[in-house]
A and B are shown apart, each in its own frame.
Chain A
Amino acid sequence: MYKILKKTQFSEKVFEFRVEAPQMAKKAHAGQFLMVRANEQGERVPFTLAGWNAEEGWIEFIFMVIGKTTEMLSTYNEGDELQDVTGPLGNPTELEGDRVVVLGGGVGLAIAYPVARTFCEQGKKVSVIMGARTKDLLILTDQFKALPLEGLYITTDDGSEGEKGVVTAPLERLCQEKAVDAAFCVGPVPMMKFSALTAEKYGLPIVASLNPIMVDGTGMCGCCRVEVGGKTKFACVDGPDFDATQVDWNDLRARQGSYRTEEGQAMEAYKEESCACHR
C-alpha cells in the first residue's frame, strides 16, 4: 500500500497526490511514468511523475478527472492509501539543444509541467506553449508561470484565455524567429500531430510523449503498441517519447478509443454506486 502524504487541488478537476515511495523517489526522472491501481478492483492507469524527493522519500503525480478511475481518485484524501504504485517506468525525457519549447495540451499539461521544470533545472532556455479548448480546461497556469521561462504562450480554441487558436500558431512564430532548437509536445492526438507537422516544416526536431492505453506498462502485453517510422514500438518500454514526425497518429487515436463505450459504463456504474450507499 502506498500512502498519500499530501493532496493538492489545483482547479476543479485537477489534483496532485504526494505519495510515500522512498525507493521510487531515488530513481525518478522527468518523462517517466507510474502505473497506479487505486484499489483491489481497480484498473492499472498510467500517470507521469510530476515531482519527487529522494531525501524525504516521496513522489508526486498530477491528474485530471476524466473518467471513473480519476473521479474515484479525486475522492481519496491525505492519509488514504493507494493499492499499488509501480514505477518509475519508461525512458526519461531527453532533448538535445539549449533552447527548447514545451507544448502541452489539455490533460497533457500535467505531463508537460514536470518536463518543462526539469529542462529549466538543466539550465536550458525553455519556452512553453499551453493549449486548451477553453479557459476552464487550462491547468497548472500558475505553476508554469512560476518557472523561469523564456516565454509563456497560452492559446484557447474559443479565445476565452490567451490568444484564440491552437498551439501551432506560437510554435510557428518561434520557428520563424529561429528561437528554439528542439520541441517536446504532449496532449491530444490532433494537437501533437499538427505540432509535428509544423515543426517538420521548419526542420525543428520534435518529440512527442505518447499516451496509448496500457495494461502492464512493462513490455509484456503489447496493448501500448504504436507505429513509429513504420515499425511497431511499445510506448511503455521503447517510449513514451518518440520522434513526433514518425508517429502514425491515426493508429494511435483509434487505439486510444478502443474502450470508449466501456469507460462510459464504468463511470455510470460508479456514479450509481457512490450516490446510493457510499456517500
Chain B
Amino acid sequence: MPQVNGKYKPNMKAPRTPYVEELPEERAQDFRPVDRGYSMADAVAEANRCLDCKNPKCVQGCPVNINIPGFIEKIREGNFGGGLDIIREASLLPSVCGRVCPQENQCEGNCVLNNKDRAIAIGQLERFLGDNATELAHDPEIKPSNGKKVAVVGSGPSGIACAGELARNGYEVTVFEAFFTGGGVLTYGIPEFRLPKKIVKREIDGLEKLGVKFEYNSVVGRITDAKELFEEQGFDAMYLAVGAGLPKFLNVPGENLPGVFCANEYLTRVNLMKAEKFPEFDTPTKHGKNVVVFGGGNVAMDAARTALRLGADTVTLAYRRTEEEMPARKAELHHAKQEGVQILPLVSPLEFEADENGFVSKVKLERMELGEPDESGRRRPHPVEGSEFEIPCDVAVTAIGTNANPFPKLAAEDVALNKWGYIEADENGRTSDPRIWAGGDIVTGAATVILAMGAGKKAAHSMMEALEA
C-alpha cells in the first residue's frame, strides 16, 4: 500500500486500471464473456487510486449505499474476504451488480475523480470480490429456524434477495417461479456475454444450501394464489416480485409480420431456450442478415449484440433520439459499437413491409429532430416532414419497454394496483394487504437489478419486524 509517514497516500497519477477485453471481432462470434475482469494485482492497483474520501460521494450514488471506501480499503490491505463482508452488509449480489449496474450514473458517476474521467472502477472492484472472495469471506450467520413461513413469488434479483435475507434469519422460504429455472431477467434477459449464467446459478445454489425451497413451473395466480397459500398451506407472509411484464409495441403497420420480434422473445429464445444451438436444442430462432433493433436501452443493446452473435451481416440500432440520450449503460453502447453495431439516431419506424413469402423484408423510417425538453428533461423528438426512407431488414426487434405484469391481481386479489397496473407499495414494500409485500420491477416499472435487489432486502426486514411483533 503506498504510504507516506505511515499514512495511506493514494496513487494520484495513475489512470483507471484497464482490464483485458476479448477482441471485438472474435468475441462477437460467440457468447463468451466480453472481458476477463481484474486480476488481483489490477484490483490492488485500482484500490490504491481511491482517495478514501471522508465524505464519500460515491456511497451516495449507490442505491443501496455500499460502504465503498471501506471495501476498497480492504482490497488495498489484501483482505479480500473482509472486503466482501463489507459489501454484503448492503448487497447480496456483488458479482451481478458489479457487472450490470449503470455505474456511470451511480457510484462511479458520483466519485470525485469522475470529472477527470478517472473515476475509480468501483463496479470492477465489486465484481472482483464477488467472483473471487466468497471462500475468504465470513459465512453470514444463520439463525435457527423460527417456524415461520414466507412465500416469495418470482426468482429474479428481488425475489432472490428477499429469500436469502429471510432464510438467514430463520424463516422457512419457498420461492415460486413460473419458469423451469431461476434468476428472472438475469437468466432469460441479460445474455451470457454480459452475465455468465454460472454466476446466477451460484446465487440460486447458495439459497438452496440455506434451505430455500424452489417450486419451478409454478405460475402464482394460476396454480395457487395468496388465499390458498395463507389459508391452506400455512404461509405467514408473501413477497411479490414478478417483474415487469407484457412488452410494449410500436403500433405501426406490419409489426406482427413473421420476423418482427419483441426483445423479450428474441432474447428468451437464445438465453433460456438455447436457440443458437438449434437443432440440437428444439427451439428455433431467426438468423437475420440485416437486423434492425428499435430502442436505446440495455435491452436494445443486448438484442443487437445477440443478433451479431447469431451471424447477422449488419445490425442497426434505430433510436428516436441521439446517442447522448440513450439510457443504456455506457459500457454496453461502447462494446456494441466496437463489435460492429451501427447506430442510426433520430429515426422512428413507420411501417414494416413483407417479401413475397410474407416475412418482413424492409422497414420504412422517418427522420426525427429534437425539440423542447419534456418533463424528464430529455429533448422530445419530432418527425421531420417528407424525410421517409427505407432500409432492408429481415429480422426486426423492438425494445421499447414493458407494461405491468398481469398476474398480481390473480395472485392476490386484495393488493391495490396503481392506474398502470403496478403494485402500490410503501418504501418498505408493504402493500394494501397487511400480509403481502412487493418490490422490484412490478412496483417501480422496469428499473435496475440493484434497485430490485435492494427492495427485496428491505421488504425482508420489514416482514421480519411485522412477523416478530
Q: Do these two chains really belong together in a complex?
A: yes
B45-53, B144-152, B259-267: which lies at the interface? B259-267
Per-residue CB contact flags for chain A residues 217-234 toward chain B (1 = under 8 Å, else 0) read: 011111101110000101
User: Which residues of the partner chain A approach B257 to less than 8 Å between Cβ atoms?
Assistant: 254
- B169 CB-CB contact with A under 8 Å: no
Which residues of A94-130 are within 8 A (CB) of B? Answer: none
User: Which residues of the partner chain B approach A222 to less than 8 Å between Cβ atoms?
Assistant: 246-247, 249, 261-262, 264-265
A85-93, A152-160, A198-206: which lies at the interface? A85-93
Report whether B358 and A220 are in contact in the complex, using a CB–CB cutoff of 8 Å: no
Give the residue name and chain of the A residue nearest to B224 (CB). Answer: A23
B61-69, B206-214, B274-282: which lies at the interface? B274-282
Query: A89 vs B222: C-alpha distance in the bound complex, in angstroms?
Result: 7
Report whether B268 and A262 are in contact in the complex, using a CB–CB cutoff of 8 Å: no
- B273 CB-CB contact with A under 8 Å: yes
Partner of A27, one of B222, B246, B407: B222
Report whether A84 and B282 are in contact in the complex, using a CB–CB cutoff of 8 Å: no
User: Which residues of the partner chain B approach A265 to less than 8 Å between Cβ atoms?
Assistant: 278-279, 284
Query: A44 vs B195: C-alpha distance in the bound complex, in angstroms?
Result: 24
Which residues of B199-256 are within 8 A (CB) of A? Answer: 216-219, 222-224, 243, 245-247, 249, 251, 256
User: Which residues of the partner chain A approach B406 to less than 8 Å between Cβ atoms?
Assistant: 219, 237
Partner of A41, one of B222, B259, B282, B405: B282
Query: A37 vs B281: C-alpha distance in the bound complex, in angstroms?
Result: 11
Report whether B284 and A262 are in contact in the complex, using a CB–CB cutoff of 8 Å: yes
Query: A206 vs B270: C-alpha distance in the bound complex, in angstroms?
Result: 38
Give the residue name and chain of the B residue nearest to A35 (CB). Answer: B217
The prevalent SS among residues of B at the interface is loop
User: Which residues of the partner chain B approach A41 to less than 8 Å between Cβ atoms?
Assistant: 274, 280-282
Partner of A220, one of B256, B258, B268, B269: B268
User: Which residues of the partner chain B approach A216 to less than 8 Å between Cβ atoms?
Assistant: 178-179, 268
User: Which residues of the partner chain B approach A27 to less than 8 Å between Cβ atoms?
Assistant: 222-224
Report whether A37 and B259 are in contact in the complex, using a CB–CB cutoff of 8 Å: no
Chain A: minimal CB distance from B303 (Å): 13
Report whether A266 and B180 are in contact in the complex, using a CB–CB cutoff of 8 Å: no
Report whether A84 and B268 are in contact in the complex, using a CB–CB cutoff of 8 Å: no
Chain A: minimal CB distance from B158 (Å): 16
Report whether A257 and B258 are in contact in the complex, using a CB–CB cutoff of 8 Å: yes
User: Which residues of the partner chain B approach A270 to less than 8 Å between Cβ atoms?
Assistant: 279
Report whether A87 and B282 are in contact in the complex, using a CB–CB cutoff of 8 Å: no
User: Which residues of the partner chain A approach B432 to less than 8 Å between Cβ atoms?
Assistant: none
Query: A180 vs B347: C-alpha distance in the bound complex, in angstroms?
Result: 53
Chain B: minimal CB distance from A169 (Å): 30
Give the residue name and chain of the B residue nearest to A2 (CB). Answer: B217
User: Which residues of the partner chain B approach A262 to less than 8 Å between Cβ atoms?
Assistant: 278-279, 284
Query: A179 vs B222: C-alpha distance in the bound complex, in angstroms?
Result: 35
Given contact pairs A41-B281, A43-B282, A219 touches B268 in the complex (Cβ within 8 A): no
Partner-B contacts on A (CB < 8 A)? 23-24, 27, 37, 41-44, 68-69, 83-89, 215-216, 218-223, 225-227, 232, 234, 237, 251, 254-255, 257-259, 262-263, 265-266, 269-270
- A-B contacts besides A86-B180, A86-B218, A222-B249, 4 pairs, CB < 8 Å: A215-B273, A219-B406, A220-B246, A265-B284
